[in-house]
Amino acid sequence: MPATVKVNPNGSISVEGDFILVDGSDQQYKLGGRTKIFLCRCGESSNKPFCDGAHKTCGFNDPGSARELPPKQL
């Protein structure tokens, strides 16, 4: 199943399906067989890049509404 990435209102980004997660050096995270993870969007998680629920207490507020990006510059 292809990955689905969902921006949750006032919270995390969920990633579910067939995906891999790599760091800036292209080293793969070992996810222990998980097929769904939650990534931090507020910047306050103590377990970055994963969400630890810190958005609930730090005042993070962003609806994560879909929008259109401007055309890619050539």
Q: Give me the CATH topology for the region 1-61.
A: Ribosomal Protein L9; domain 1 (3.40.5)
Question: What 3-state class would DSSP assign to 37?
Answer: strand
Q: Average model confidence (pLDDT) for the chain? A: 97
For 18-54, the pLDDT digits (tens) are 999 999 999 999 999 999 999 999 999 999 999 999 9
17, 4 in Cβ contact below 8 A? yes
- Sheet with 4-7, strands from edge to edge, namely 4-7, 13-16, 36-39
Listed by start position, the domains of the chain span 1-61
Global pTM value: 0.90
* Among candidate residues 10, 22, 16, the one with its CA nearest the CA of residue 60: 10
Confidence of residue 16 (pLDDT cuts 50, 70, 90): very high
Is the confidence at residue 1, as pLDDT, over 90?
A: no
